[in-house]
Structure formats: structure tokens, C-alpha cells
């Protein structure tokens, strides 16, 4: 699945929140190039060429290559946080909500693995101001998972001596799916999500 086929915002058109169309095409091209070659090895000429545009056209929509990465990263992190908060604020026990959070978060990282690799693993390429902004979003994601686990501990559902460390482990486990997931593999995104939800519940003592 290419970045053009992925829908990180959940919209019908991939990256539909990015307008105009030329800006969207450039962003999709950047996702694919960054995922394939890495941010630093990718040139603005590479991105423009993939989008079928001239290098000069890129600067009409994005001042720098870093601005493109920031846009990609911000959209992806906003979506990741939305997924986790929706599960955390849902109905059900802490175990049910944690399982839902993991299942949905993993599914997104599998279905959108090209995008997710760029979103999650190119953080250090951002400038200081943009990096601080994204780090703040990552902390909110971490806090959301910690909240569910703390509620499970308080309710007697979970046995977790180190909530903060466990939250980091849960998120790391989920995010890493974007590194290895292969659409030709034997498990679908839904199946990987279900497997990881079960593993995480066992990790927190929610599965007996």
C-alpha cells in the first residue's frame, strides 16, 4: 500500500485535509520518499519528481523540506492521539478500553505503515520548535495510556507496579508494528491488533 492509498485522517480521500490538490500530491510524494530513503537522503527534487511537478512548484506550497515533514508528523500524531483518546473516553472497563486502544492504535500503524514509519521515526529531523510541538503530542498520547492503566489499577483490574514504564512499553510495542508490517504477510491489520490487545492485557495482568 502506498501513501497515496493510505487514509491517515480517516477521510475518504487520502490526506483529504491537505489542500489544494497540488499540496496534497507533494505531501503524499514526501511520505513515500521519506519512508523509502529516509528524510536526510531525500531531496526536494525527489519529492517534486514523484509528484510529477517541478522543484520550483514545491516551494509554492512548502517553504522547506522540513515544513513538509512537520505537516506529515502533525497530522499523524493528531490522528494517533485521537485514536487513543476515543478509546480511553469510551464505555466499558479499563481492560476493555485498554484493549480497544491497543487494537485501534495497532491497526492504524499496520494499515498506514508507510505513513506511520515517517510519523514515528523521523522526529529528530524536525527543527527545534516543531520537534517540541510533536513531543508535546507524544506526551499526551503517553498520558492517555497511563490514565487507562491507572484506572485499571485503581479498580483492581490490573497489577502494574510501574505504570509509567508500562505505558511506554505498550506504546513502543504498538508503534513498532509500522516497522515490520507487510501487507503480503499472514496476518491482517485487524488480526495483529487483536493479538497485541491480548498481549497487552496479559502484560498488565488483565488476562487470567
For the stretch 119-148, pLDDT in tens is 999 999 999 999 999 999 999 999 999 999
**pLDDT score recorded for residue 103:** 97
Query: Residue 178 and residue 155: Cα distance in Å, rounded?
Result: 32
How high is the pLDDT of residue 13? 53
Predicted local confidence at residue 16, as pLDDT: 76
180 membership: H or E segment, kind and range:
helix 177-180
pTM value? Answer: 0.87
Cα separation, 111 vs 6, in Å, equals 7
**Residues 101, 83: Cα–Cα separation, whole Å:** 7
pLDDT the model gives residue 18: 87
| pLDDT of 184 | 85
| Low-confidence residues in the chain, pLDDT < 50 | 1, 4, 7-12
In terms of phi and psi (left: phi > 0; alpha: psi -120 to 50; beta: otherwise), the region of 7 is beta
Task: Return d(Cα 115, Cα 129) in angstroms, integer.
Answer: 22
| Residue 41 CB-half CA count within 13 A | 7
- d(Cα 108, Cα 102) in Å, to the nearest integer? 10
Task: Please give the pLDDT value at position 84.
Answer: 97
CA 51 to chain centre: 23
Q: What is the chain's mean pLDDT, rounded?
A: 91
Q: What integer pLDDT is reported at residue 15 of this predicted model? A: 80
pLDDT of amino acid 131:
96
Amino acid at each position: 500500500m502506498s501513501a497515496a492509498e493510505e487514509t491517515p485522517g480517516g477521510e475518504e480521500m487520502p490526506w483529504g485535509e491537505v489542500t489544494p490538490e497540488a499540496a496534497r500530491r507533494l505531501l503524499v510524494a514526501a511520505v513515500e520518499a521519506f519512508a523509502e530513503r529516509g528524510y536526510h537522503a531525500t531531496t526536494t527534487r525527489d519529492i517534486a519528481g514523484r509528484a510529477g511537478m517541478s522543484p520550483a512548484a514545491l516551494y509554492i506550497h512548502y517553504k522547506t523540506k522540513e515544513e513538509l515533514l512537520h505537516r506529515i508528523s502533525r497530522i499523524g500524531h493528531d490522528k494517533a492521539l485521537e485514536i487513543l483518546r476515543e478509546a480511553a473516553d469510551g464505555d466499558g472497563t479499563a481492560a476493555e478500553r485498554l484493549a480497544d486502544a491497543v487494537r485501534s492504535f495497532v491497526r492504524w500503524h499496520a494499515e498506514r505503515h508507510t505513513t506511520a514509519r515517517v510519523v514515528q521515526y523521523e522526529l529528530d529531523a524536525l527543527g527545534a520548535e516543531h520537534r517540541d510541538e510533536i513531543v508535546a503530542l507524544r506526551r499526551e498520547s503517553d498520558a492517555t495510556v497511563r490514565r487507562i492503566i491507572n484506572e485499571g489499577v485503581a479498580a483492581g483490574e490490573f497489577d502494574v507496579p510501574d505504570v509509567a514504564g508500562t505505558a511506554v512499553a505498550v506504546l513502543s510495542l504498538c508503534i513498532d508494528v509500522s516497522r515490520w508490517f507487510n501487507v503480503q504477510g499472514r496476518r491482517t491489520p485487524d488480526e495483529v491488533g487483536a493479538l497485541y490487545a491480548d498481549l497487552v492485557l496479559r502484560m498488565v495482568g488483565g488476562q487470567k
